[in-house]
Structure 1
Amino acid sequence: MLSDPTFWVAVAFAIFIGILLYVKVPGIIAKQLDDRAERIKNELDEAQKLREDAQAMFADYQRRQRDAMATAEEIVAKAKEDAEILRKESEAELEATLKRRQEMAEAKIRQAEEKALAEVQSLAVDVAVAAAEKLMKENIKAKEGGALIDQSIKDLGSQLN
C-alpha cells in the first residue's frame, strides 16, 4: 500500500483538504460569494431605483408637455380673440371714417349747390339788370319791355348751360 501511487494521491488529497480547512478556505470562498451576491443585489436595487426615477421623470415630462400644450392652446385662443376684437375695432373705425368722408362729401356737394344757386341768382340779376338797362337805353314801351324781359328770362337757361 505504501508503494501504491493511488494511496499517495489519496493522502496528498486528504492533506490538501486538511490545509484548506485549516486555512478556512471554504469560509473565505463563501464570504466572497456572499459579498458578490450582495453587490449584485445592490446593483439590482440601484437599477430598480433608477428605473423608478426614470419613470417618474418621464411622467413629469409628460405632465409638463400636457401643461405646455394647454398653455399654447390658451395663448392661441387668446390671440384669436384679440384678433377678432381688433378686426371689429378696425371695421368700426373704417365705418366711422367712411361716414365722416361721406358727410364731408355731402357738405361739399351742398356748398357747391349753394354756390351754383348763388351764381345762378347773380346771373339772373345781371341779366335782369342788363335787360333793364337795355330797356332804359332804348326807351321802349312797357309792353315791348315786358316781352324783352320775358325773352331774357328764356335766354337765361341757355346762358347757364
Structure 2
Amino acid sequence: MKKLSILAVLAASPAMAATGPFLSLSNTNFIVTLAFLIFMGILLYAKVPGRVLGMLDKRSVQIRTELEEARALREEARTILASYDRKQKEVQEQAARIVASARDEAQAAAEQAKADLRASIARRLAAAEDQIASAEAGAVRAIREQAVSVAVAAAADLLSRQMTPAAASASIDESIKEVEARFH
C-alpha cells in the first residue's frame, strides 16, 4: 500500500503534467521557468538582494548594539544591586550597632538608677539615724535637765529645811565673794 501511494504522488507531480516541447509557450513548465528568471532578473536589476543584505546587516548591527546595551545595562544593574546589597548590609549592621548601643545604655542607666537608689536609701538611713541620735541626745539632755531641776529642787528643799536664815545669809555672802574672785 505504501509503495502504491508513493508511486501515485510521483505520477501526479506538475513536472509530469506538461506535455509537448519544452520551449513552447503552451508548456507550463517553460512559462513558469521563464517567469521565474524574469522575476529574478528584475530583483537583480533593482539590486534587491543587496538592499535585503544591507537591511539584514543594518538589523544585525542594530541587534548587536542592543545586545551590547543590554549587557551594559545588565552589568550596571548588577553593580547597582551589589551596591544596594552592600548598603543594606551596612544599614543592618548600623541598626544592630544602634540596638546594641541602646541596650547597653539602657543597662547602664538601670545600673545607675540602682546605684542612685542605693545611695538615696543610704542617705535616708543616715538621716534617720542622725534624727534618732539627735532625738536620743535631746531626750538625754531633757532627762538631765529634768534630773538637774529635780536635784536643784531637792537640794533647795533640803537646804531650806536645814539652813537657818543666818547661815543662808553667810552662804550668799561667801558665794558673792567667790564669784568676785573668779571674775577679777
What corresponds to 1:58 in structure 2? 81
Q: Which one is further off, 70-79 or 107-116?
A: 70-79
Q: 5+ residue gaps in structure 2?
A: 1-22, 163-184
Say which of 50, 58, 69 aligns to 1:46. 69
What corresponds to 1:96 in structure 2? 119
Q: Which one is further off, 5-14 or 26-35?
A: 5-14
CA distance in 1, matches of 2:109, 2:25: 116
What corresponds to 2:92 in structure 1? 69
Say which of 26, 30, 36 aligns to 1:4. 26
What corresponds to 1:156 in structure 2? none
Q: CA deviation at 1:54?
A: 1.4
Larger radius of gyration: 2
- Partner letter of residue 10 of structure 1? T
C-alpha change, 1:3 and 1:91, in structure 2 (3 Å) is closer
What corresponds to 1:24 in structure 2? 47
What corresponds to 2:38 in structure 1? 15
Q: Percent identity?
A: 42
RMSD: 2.4
Q: CA deviation at 1:132?
A: 4.1
What corresponds to 1:84 in structure 2? 107
2:122 is the alignment partner of 1:117? no
Q: CA deviation at 1:116?
A: 0.7
Q: Structure 2-normalised TM-score?
A: 0.64
CA distance in 2, matches of 1:130, 1:25: 150
Aligned length: 139
CA distance in 1, matches of 2:25, 2:136: 154
Q: Which structure's residues are more often helix, by fraction?
A: 1
Structure 1 segments, 4+ long, off by >6 Å, are none
SS at match of 1:13: helix
CA distance in 2, matches of 1:132, 1:100: 46
- Partner letter of residue 4 of structure 1? S
Q: CA deviation at 1:9?
A: 3.8
Q: Which one is further off, 58-67 or 36-45?
A: 36-45
The structure whose RCO (Cα within 8 Å, separation 6+) is larger is 1
Q: CA deviation at 1:64?
A: 0.9
